[in-house]
Structure 1
Amino acid sequence: MRILFFGRGVITTQYAWAFEQAGHTVEFYVRKGRKETFGSSIDLEMWDARGGKKLIKESWNIKLHEEILPKYDLIIVSVNTEQLPEAAQFLSTAAGNTPVLIFNNIWQDLKSSIAPLSMSNVVFGFPGAGGGITENRLRGGFLKMVFLEKPREGTESINNKVKELFESAHFKISWVRDMQNWLWIHFAMNAAMEAEVLKRGSFPALMNHSDSFSTVGKHMREMTPLLNARGAKSDMILLLLTKIPPALLSILFNKVIFAKGSLARLFVEYNNSKAGFAVLEVVREAKKLGIPLPRLTVALESTEYYNAVENSIS
């Protein structure tokens, strides 16, 4: 299969490497000027957990393009949340009839988040990966599991194509019945963590404070009325983060989910992305609905995002 990845980010790069290892042709679309900046290779230091725990260290040659040609079987998009509308607008004309996998965190409703792309030509999924890129060096990794929405009417053939692709590279698919609900809750969880990152200063610092996840749980409890107002249904993640007492939640995250040496912890520690946008999106929505989020609002006060919240309601 010939696959085009939209952008050369940490998620796209890792899955592209895995697909190439499985015999597929992988290429990247990047914005004008980035091809020369990125160069023709990237240094990888990433953990592959598809069959055990294997560290990959190599300089990987990649093929970058600054235009999209009608020669691909699938386009995979995994970008920063704030970049998705622009990416969708561009692909609505540049991608032609090529099917698209949106492998992304999303807070808005799915249809409007990818407009003017057609829902019949798009499937939604979510990676089981993380990390960061600094000076052309990627540090991160990926798990065996990826999340993919169950087929909607009209997307059966695209879902099957995506399923065959991931399975050919020995990934396991967790099928999500209600992808909209799953992403709402996952985005809220991400906002809860980012609010704490804004307080601590970085993702690694989040991991190094034993009480960070008790606070994350408090943030999630604060957001529950907003999720309810949106019509979100409780799942195991939401119940875990809102029903377990914060002190016990802190122990669970620090000793089990993000235990020292675990890949989940390493993925967060390698994350050097800028935090705050997820918090902004959630607070904006809460302001519109008249739902107070004092904890998350305070987290934004010392950032550039705070004025965006104030301007959205002025």
Structure 2
Amino acid sequence: MRILFFGRGVISTQYAWAFEQAGHTVEFYVRKGRKETFGSNIELEMWDARRGKKFIKETWNVKLHEELSPNYDLIIVSVNTEQLPGAAQILSTVAGTTPVLIFNNVWQDLKSSISPLPVNNVVFGFPAGGGGIADNRLRGGFLKMIFLEKPRAGTEHINNKVKECFESAHFKISWVTDMENWLWNHFAMNAAMETEVLRCGSFPALMNDRDSFVNVGKNMREIIPVLKARGAKPGAISLLLTKIPPVLLGILFKKVIYATGSLPRLFVEYNNSKAGFAVLEVVREAQKAGIPLPRLTVAFENTE
């Protein structure tokens, strides 16, 4: 397949590399001026956990474009949540009938989030990876699993194309029945964690703060009413974050999920992105519904 990645961020770069390794042609669309800034290669220092745990260290040559054309078999969009409306607007003018995979966080209803792209030309998914880019060096990695919405009426052919693409690169797909609800829960969990990033000062600091994961559970308890108010059902992980006593939750995070040396911990430690957008969006939603969020509000106001 000839695949275009919208943006050359952490997720786009890592999965593009994996697809190229599987024999696909991959290219990137970047904003004007970025082609010169980024250059024709990027330094990779990342973990590939599709078949075992393999460390990749190489200089990878990439092909960047500042203009878009419809001459692709698949377009994959992985951008910051706040950039998604702009990306959808751009793609609506040039994508034509090319299938589009939206591969990132979403907080709006799915149809509105990609307007004016036709929803039947779009499939939603989510990666299992992370990291950061600094000085043209990417540090991070990805796991074997990716999340993909089950076909909606009219999207079966797109889902099949995306499925074939990922499976050809040895990824395993976890099918999600209600993707909108899944993404809203994931966004809420991001907000709960970003609240602690704002308090600690950075993602690496979050990993080393004694109270951070105890507080993540407390933050999530505040957010659950916001999810319910917008019609979402708390997912299994959201409920886990609220049902387990905060102290035990802190131990679970530190000793198991983000244990020292684990890939999930490394992905967070390498994350150098700016936190706060997810917190702001959840706070705004809570204000509309008249739901108090004292923990999130204080954390956000202290950073303004």
- Taking structure 1 as the reference length, what is the TM-score of the superposition? 0.96
* CA deviation string 1:131-153 (max 9, x = no partner): 00001000000000000000000
Mapped to 2, the partners of 1:264 and 1:25 lie a distance apart of: 29
Return the letter of the residue paired with 2:131. Answer: G
The letter for the 1-side match of 2:54 is: K
Tell me if structure 2 keeps the 8 A contact 1:210–1:254: no
2:159 matched residue in structure 1 = 159
Give the SS at the match of 1:254.
helix
RMSD value over aligned CA atoms? 0.6
Q: Within 5 Å, which residues of 2 pair with 1:1-314?
A: 1-304=1-304
Asked if 1 retains the 8 angstrom alpha-carbon contact of 2:224 and 2:234, the reply is no
Find runs of 4+ consecutive structure 1 residues off by over 2 angstroms.
none
CA distance in 1, matches of 2:227, 2:6: 30
Counterpart amino acid of residue 294 in structure 1: P
Provide the rounded CA distance (Å) in 2 between the counterparts of 1:235 and 1:139: 30
Paired with 2:77 and 2:235, the residues of 1 have a C-alpha distance of: 26
CA distance in 1, matches of 2:210, 2:99: 44
Aligned letter for 2:99? P
Whole-angstrom distance in 1 between the partners of 2:171 and 2:69:
28
Task: Give the C-alpha shift of residue 68 in structure 1.
Answer: 1.1
Report if aligned partners of 1:50, 1:171 keep a CA contact under 8 Å in 2: yes
Inter-partner Cα distance in structure 1 for 2:291 and 2:233: 18
Q: Does the Cα contact within 8 Å between 2:227 and 2:234 map onto a contact in 1? A: no
Inter-partner Cα distance in structure 1 for 2:168 and 2:262: 26
Count of aligned pairs between the two proteins: 304
The residue type paired with residue 192 of structure 2 is A
1:232-253 residue CA offsets vs partner (Å, 9 max, x unmatched)? 1132111110000000000000
Which of 82-91 and 230-239 deviates more?
A: 230-239
Kept after mapping to 1: 8 A contact 2:150/2:175: yes
8 Å CA contact retained: 1:123, 1:159: yes
1:310 maps to none
Deviation at 1:210, TM superposition (A): 2.5
Structure 2 CA distance, aligned partners of 1:29 and 1:298? Answer: 38
Work out the CA distance in 1 between the residues paired with 2:22 and 2:210: 40
- The residue type equivalent to 1:6 in the other structure is F
**Counterparts of 2:164 and 2:210, CA distance in 1:** 41
C-alpha deviation, 1:177, in angstroms:
0.4
**Where does the alignment leave 5 or more consecutive residues of structure 1 unmatched?**
305-314
Secondary structure of the structure 1 residue equivalent to 2:232: coil
Q: Quote the offset at 1:126 in angstroms.
A: 0.2
